[in-house]
Structure 1
Amino acid sequence: MNKAWEGDQHNLKPLVQLLHFGYHQAMSCIFPVAIFGTLALSSVIQIPFLYRYDAILLILLAVQYLMYRSGLETRDEIKVICIFHVIGLVLEMYKVWMGSWSYPEPGYTKLFGVPLYSGFMYASVASFMCQIWRRLRMDMTGWPGFVSSVLLGGAIYINFFTHHFIPDFRWWLTALVFIVFRKTWIIYRVRITTYRMPLTLAFIIVGFFIWTAENIATFFNGWKYPDQHDSWQLVSFSKISSWFLLVIISVIIVAQLKYVKANRR
């Protein structure tokens, strides 16, 4: 009977591991879910005396405050989120200026045609990265080092701006990613079991899910691409590669900050 019970326990282990993994993934997605939930609700419920974009900004600031006060986010994670908010906002202003997409609704908290809440959509990626890193006690092996990773991340970010004027080096940069990070593996832990995954595979998976989230955001009029003004349609699959590259920038910044902090101890 003991052997039968032990066998049942062994058979249930993968399910238990999956449930724990899913729980930590869900908890790490609180801020992204708050963003898309706010976009969805604000598209059907009008808040009195406030433009929609302004209301979204206030709600997301309140969510961040509550997450920090409740201990769901640490002070260091808030700092990373602020960095990403600025990085994302600068990119948004440039892209809107170039006509890549637009925010057609009015708002007091718009800067150069871009609502300030939009930076939180980039910051939500950082929030997820920080949360999942801490919850799954992540580490990496085969990290290419500060110079290689930062130069590659910088080149990817600059290409988001320069491809409007010079050839798009996206696919060359993508090839470089697979070369530079070919030996890099993510180490993560679920309960007492340790797993690992190639970092480039993680880039692809997260990029796909962000593209899926982008479809949800545009459906609820978070922003609009030029071909979505008359009626909503699926965001181009080519955007997956853009998010793939953006995730790389996110991981590089978070990883370098983690290593810097670890070396200070």
Structure 2
Amino acid sequence: MPNTRRGRRRAQDKQQGDAEGEIVEVSPSAPVTPRLNVAPTAAAMVEKLKEENRLLKEERDFLREQLKDTLSSKQTVSGAKRKLGARKDDEDYSSDTEDSSTSDSSDSSASSKSRKRKLKRKPKSRKHKGWKEKDDFARRVQTPLEVLQRYKTILRSFQRTKSVSRSCERSNIDRNTIALTVIIAELQIVATPELQIPEFQGGTLQQYAQRCKEYLDSNPNIALKIEEMKKKHSLLPIKYKFRKADN
């Protein structure tokens, strides 16, 4: 009886040792790949944020160039004004010195007048500096690329305010001015490598806008795509306008 129990115990210990010593092999040809489920709405939001980030960078670079040109011209003008002011002060001082040689009373009178003139001389007001820079930004549009940059600035503001008029007012740009060149910007936005839009070969922007209008008239599918993008607020809901002289 004791021998039987010892035999059973040894058999159990052996089975337990064999079980503990087993090694589970995993085939290297079956890698475990995590599954990531990204919702279509989240993916669309990411693409939208990327596009907004790209547009902001383009606007930043464009405004930097505009500000650089404005500051350079203002520094040149201010330097010339300082030279003229210094020359005028020298002339006033010479005039006061000549007057002082005639009599002591005229000397005191001339010096007091000179001091009053210097006290009254004040620097010009700069409270409209920001508006002037915006006016320069609006007037300097002379190429299709500049038209596109200005259009994107208004478009970003419109996507936040949902108002074209308010977006134009913020940039101090008239809505009719945008309407005259809006077709140029729209074609550049919808253009693809397979889509050959008319090239700008000189002339005025209004003449180029007329060529773009003729191109849309002959490609109704592109015109339809632009209208769909306007309904989704991907483009500005502005109707085209053309100057009578160009018709």
> Which category describes the TM-score, using the shorter chain as reference length?
under 0.3
Q: Which has the higher contact order (CA 8 A, sep 6+)?
A: 1
TM-score, scaled to structure 1: 0.26
Higher strand share: 1
TM-score, scaled to structure 2: 0.28
Higher helix share: 2
The structure having more radius of gyration, on CA atoms, is 2
